[in-house]
Amino acid sequence: MHRLTTSNGLNMPALGLGTWPMLGTECTQAVQQALDLGYRHIDTATAYNNEAAVGEALRTSSVPREQIHLTTKVWHDRLAPSALRQSFDDSLRALQTDYVDLFYLHWPTPDMDLGRTLDALAELHQQGKARAIGVANFPLGLLRQAIEQHGAPLSAIQVEYHVLLGQQPLLHYARQHDLVLTAYTPLARGRAAEQAVIVDIARKHGVLPSQVALKWLLDQEAVAAIPKAAGRANQLANLQSANVPLDAEDRRQIAALPKNQRVVNPDFAPDWDA
Ligand code: NAP
């Protein structure tokens, strides 16, 4: 699996395992199995209530901690600096580690003090406890503020991105500013693989539709993807999507699919066009 790096400390395999909504033993076993299969990038968050389960998998795995890229996130009710630091320490304890490879703000809020929150994030980065930092679910305007007004040393933006949802302006900006864009919900929770165009392309190459959807993301510069899969077969299929040979005609057809089908849009989501 190719890796994505930034000048601000990110060094991450492009494909990772999403862990929401797995809990407890199911989550521990899924992460252990993924590590056995060759995954080296795990995505969790305090809000998933599974950091301890992920930590248990890391502790019991034969894969050394330093070979694993571990991402977690702070929830939006903990963005004041002292609460953010406390949340980060709680995450480290649950994950049974003394650093994370990437630490995100999970969602922005309208009333957050962006400068102070980003300073608290940057401090964890300076201390080496968060090797890289990022923001999730930031619309372009807010990302620009974070970088251009506050000078935050960000490495990544995590947003929903798949064959049915475009992210071109954000992606363009990320590339210009040496950020990686991590695609969450990269299979559109099964909807991507139901598209006739995707099914036809998969048939042409003798692969699975889900693999076509993932490879479309992984072929793009500075894009990572974190599909969630509990079982061995789907985990393996997703890892092996890296070998799918998409051609220019495939990409043309995928580009023509609707790009406005957002799956994740909770009531506290920001104005995506802000
Ligand atoms: P997703 O990855 O698009 O879809 C997951 C679903 O696809 C599961 O039901 C899974 O089933 C199935 N699946 C996985 N591989 C498959 C395959 N090869 N063939 C057929 N079905 C397959 O959606 P998601 O879980 O929403 O997103 C992935 C991760 O992104 C989450 O786990 C989480 O880590 C992250 N995320 C972040 C945010 C955020 O706000 N930052 C929001 C949402 C998600 P099985 O488990 O049975 O394989």
Angle among Cα 21, 23, 25 to the nearest 5 degrees reads 140
What number of residues does the chain have? Answer: 274
Task: Exactly one of 39, 48, 161, 184 is catalytic; name it.
Answer: 48
Q: What is the pLDDT of residue 1?
A: 87
| Residue with CA at minimum distance from ligand 1 atom 6 | 189
| C-alpha 149 to ligand 1 mean position (Å) | 34
> 36-63 b/e with 16+ CB inside 10 Å = b?
eeebbbbbbbbbbbbbbbbbbbbeebeb
Active site includes 48?
Answer: yes
Task: Domain ranges for the chain, please list them.
Answer: 3-187+217-244
| C-alpha 145 to ligand 1 mean position (Å) | 30
Start-to-end CA distance of the chain, whole Å, equals: 34
**Cα 5 to Cα 102: distance, rounded to the nearest angstrom:** 12
| C-alpha 171 to ligand 1 mean position (Å) | 21
Residues in the chain predicted with pLDDT less than 50, given as ranges, are none
pLDDT per residue over 66-90, tens digit each? 999 999 999 999 999 999 999 999 9
| C-alpha 17 to ligand 1 mean position (Å) | 9
| C-alpha 192 to ligand 1 mean position (Å) | 11
Pick the CATH number of 3-187+217-244 from 3.40.50.1860, 3.20.20.100, 3.10.20.30, 3.40.50.970: 3.20.20.100
**Cα 112 to Cα 201: distance, rounded to the nearest angstrom:** 44
Per DSSP, what are the bridge partners of residue 104? 73, 134
Pairing type for strands 41-43 and 223-225 reads unpaired
| Residue with CA at minimum distance from ligand 1 atom 37 | 184
- With tokens 């922005």, the residue in question is 108
**In sequence order, what DSSP letters do the residues of 207-266 get, joined into one string?**
S-HHHHHHHHHHTSTTEEE--B--SHHHHHHHHHGGG----HHHHHHHHTS--B------
Pocket lining for ligand 1, CB < 6 angstroms: 18-20, 43, 106, 136-137, 158, 184-190, 208, 210, 226-231, 234, 237-238, 264
Give the nearest ligand 1 atom to 136 CA: 41
Give the nearest ligand 1 atom to 107 CA: 40
| Residue with CA at minimum distance from ligand 1 atom 10 | 229
